[in-house]
Chains A and B, each alone.
Chain A
Amino acid sequence: MRADSNLGRILRNSGFAVTAEFVPPASLDREAIEKNVSVFKDVVDAVNVADNRQARASVASWAVSKVLLDNGIEPIMTLVTRDRNRIALQSDLMGASILGIGNIFCTTGDHQKFGDHPGALNVFDIDSVQLIGISRNLGDNGKLAGGSACEGASPFCIGAAANPFGDPVDLMVIRLAQKIEAGADFIQTQPVFNKQKFEAWMAAARNEGLTEKCFMLATVMLLRSAEAARSLKGRPGGCDIPDDIINRLQSLPEKEQAEEGLKICVEQIQALIEVRGVKGVHIIAHGSEASIPEIVSRAGLQDRRRRE
């Protein structure tokens, strides 16, 4: 089997893609995972499979990616540099490729302090920019980081994360430029709640010509309650959620907040896809993946996917 990327084709051909995120559980039950991921089928173009998200030990990203493939859903296999050195990461890249996994997402990963094994030793042999470069060279040129050759070449469609909300903005744009220069094909941003700040960052990225060199996917995150929004905002390194969003949820009785969160998510998608340079949306609904078809449909993304 040859690694394939329908996502890469969609982005190149129509210039608009919809992706979503799946966080594998700690599980030894394949059937349960298959049941959980079935909501994504024919709803989004590809699904990011997290790699031990928040440093919580869970089913391997490559294994869940294969389960997705077997179920007719295109995976984007995440690789974090926290847990594996360059040898293991390249081994996983080659393994993914022979399983038919053509999309990868390269990131550094959350620090293990925030996970369920805070006493673990971390690796950080390389960082995300270097992993992007290594993946590019391996897929395109069949070359390993150490200089030796890898049999066959099968380019990966490479994704990377970007943070539009850090300060200063010029530094955030440099980070984006580095990832693109290293070989990223597409970017999925940190969840966008503060549209103003996102637009400022996109404008700065456009000025540098970066949005022409890479497909920019704006990430939206479903908020289920005012409480969830507050806790996302409150933690260190948390999301930049404007008060008016929290107040909008807060003003409603608890049982109506989930529906309002869904409305907010749909409105955000509709606003973000109008921002110049945005080539798609990435939807995160941790724990509420069942709502994703509804979000995609209400935001009119199904029509958009079909039309283009």
Chain B
Amino acid sequence: MIIAERKPIPELLAMLADHDRILLAGCKGCVTVCNAGGTKEVAVLAAALRIARRRQGRPIEVDEITLDRQCEPEFIGWLEKPIREKKYTAVLSAACSVGPQYIAQHFDDLVALPALNTSFMGGTKEHGVWAEFCRGCGNCGIHNFGGLCPVTRCSKGLLHGPCAGSSGGRCEVRPDMECIWLLIYERMKRIGQTEKFKKIKPPKDWSTYWSGGVRKVSREDLTL
């Protein structure tokens, strides 16, 4: 899923300085699962913003809504009615950055603001802890690495084993993270792929990554 984190309140207050009536829109997708922008987090954030602004002597009206998903234009359409009726000057989107971008494109005269920092594609490590697993390079090769991704999980994205900064099984760049290369090596050894591990890989083709330009997937069998 997409892992996101709420921006600090002072940053959000600065963004909202020119607004007195906003709609705070959450999302029931990934950001609900990672506790950043679901119904509950929207309620907490709305309250925090109201209290902070009241303290500043400039109260703000914050209405709450949580869409099924903000990454589909159809659901963004659900915002039309409340926006028309309540005349909000801005929508603060607590979705990954697809949400505020869709809102900006859908509502020409409305300010769209991000409440979250979209962090990465990842999974739950333990309760309240998420880690990155995929960089979205567009050309998955984890089968060459025992099913683990060095492109994402090695701090230098190396393809041939650990650097000298791997010590005690940890990564020098992020000592709270394991050196993925030790896990890859041990795993490939266990599943009888040591020879495959040794093989020299050609330079990676990054054209399927962001460096190839903005990406788009289109499926002929699904397009109308």
- By the criterion CB–CB under 8 Å, are A171 and B161 in contact? yes
Chain B interface: which of A56-64, A120-128, A245-253? A120-128
For the complex formed, measure the closest distance between the CB of B211 and the CB atoms of chain A, giving whole angstroms: 8
Given A130-B202, A166-B164, A237-B164, also A171-B185 (CB < 8 A): yes
Known pairs A86-B203, A130-B203, A145-B203; A171 contacts B162 (CB<8 A): yes
Q: Does B127 contact A (CB under 8 A)?
A: no
Q: Is B158 an interface residue (CB 8 A)?
A: yes
| C-alpha spacing A237/B175, complex, angstroms | 10
Set of chain A residues within 8 Å of B165, measured between Cβ atoms: 110-111, 236-237
Residues A166 and B160 in contact in the complex (CB < 8 Å), given A113-B173, A125-B203, A126-B203: no
B198 touches A111 (CB 8 A): no
State which of A28-36, A151-159, A176-184 sits at the interface with chain B. Answer: A176-184
Contact of A127 among B159, B166, B175 (CB under 8 A): B159
Q: Does A279 belong to the interface (CB within 8 Å)?
A: no
Judged by a CB distance under 8 angstroms, whether A134 is at the interface is: yes
- Give the B interface residue count (CB, 8 A): 29
When distances are taken between beta carbons in the complex, the residues of chain B under 8 Å from A237 are 164-167, 172
Within 8 A of B (CB), among A165-197: 166-168, 171, 174-175, 177-178, 181-182, 190
Taking the complex as formed, is B75 at the interface, i.e. its CB lies under 8 A from any CB of chain A?
no
Contacting pair A111 B162 (CB below 8 A)? no
In the docked arrangement, what's the CA distance between A164 and B115, Å? 48
- Does B197 sit within 8 A of A, measured CB to CB? yes
Contact assessment for B167 and A236 in the assembled complex, using a CB-CB cutoff below 8 Å:
yes
Closest chain A CB from B155 CB (angstroms): 6
Interface residues of A in 71-128 (CB under 8 A from B): 82, 86, 108, 110-111, 113, 122, 124-128
B164 x A181 contact (CB < 8 A): no
Task: Please report the C-alpha to C-alpha distance between residue A62 and residue B111 in the assembled complex, in whole angstroms.
Answer: 50
The CA of A177 and the CA of B169, in the complex, are separated in Å by 21
How far in angstroms is the closest Cβ of chain A from B24? Answer: 30
Inter-chain contact B161/A175, CB cutoff 8 Å = yes
Contact present for B159 and A130 (CB under 8 Å): yes
A62 to chain B, nearest CB (A): 21
A161 at the interface (CB under 8 A from B): yes
State A236–B170 Cα separation when bound (angstroms).
9
A178→B200 contact, CB < 8 A: yes
Asked if A238 is at the interface of the complex by the 8 Å CB criterion, the answer is yes
CB distance from B180 to the nearest CB of A (A): 13
| Contact present for B203 and A111 (CB under 8 Å) | no
Q: Is B58 an interface residue (CB 8 A)?
A: no
- Distance (Å) between the CB of B161 and the closest chain A CB? 5
Of the candidates A125, A171, A235, the one having the most CB atoms from chain B within 10 angstroms of its own CB is A171
Residue B78 at the chain A interface, CB threshold 8 Å: no
- The smallest beta-carbon distance between A85 and chain B, in angstroms, is 9
Whether, in the assembled complex, B77 has its beta carbon less than 8 Å from a beta carbon of chain A, the answer is: no
Interface presence of B138 (CB below 8 A): no
Contact A124 B157 (CB under 8 A): yes
Counting CB contacts under 8 A, is B215 at the interface?
no
Query: Which residues of A lie under 8 Å from residue B160 when comparing CB positions?
Result: 127-130, 175, 178
Q: Is B156 an interface residue (CB 8 A)?
A: yes
B198 & A178 in contact (Cβ 8 Å cutoff): yes
Query: Please, which residue of chain A has its CB at the minimum distance from the CB of B169?
Result: A167
Q: Are A129 and B159 in contact (CB under 8 A)?
A: yes
Query: For B172, what are the chain A residues with a Cβ–Cβ distance below 8 Å?
Result: 111, 235-237
> What are 24 residue pairs bridging A and B, where the CB atoms are less than 8 Å apart in the complex?
A108-B163, A111-B155, A111-B172, A122-B156, A124-B157, A124-B158, A126-B204, A127-B158, A130-B159, A130-B202, A133-B200, A145-B203, A161-B164, A166-B162, A166-B164, A166-B167, A167-B169, A167-B182, A171-B181, A175-B162, A178-B160, A178-B200, A237-B166, A237-B167
A-B contact sample (12 more), CB < 8 A, given A125-B206, A174-B197? A108-B163, A111-B156, A126-B203, A127-B160, A129-B159, A134-B203, A171-B185, A174-B198, A178-B160, A178-B161, A178-B200, A181-B200
Residues of A within 8 A of B (CB): 82, 86, 108, 110-111, 113, 122, 124-130, 133-134, 145, 161, 163, 166-168, 171, 174-175, 177-178, 181-182, 190, 235-238
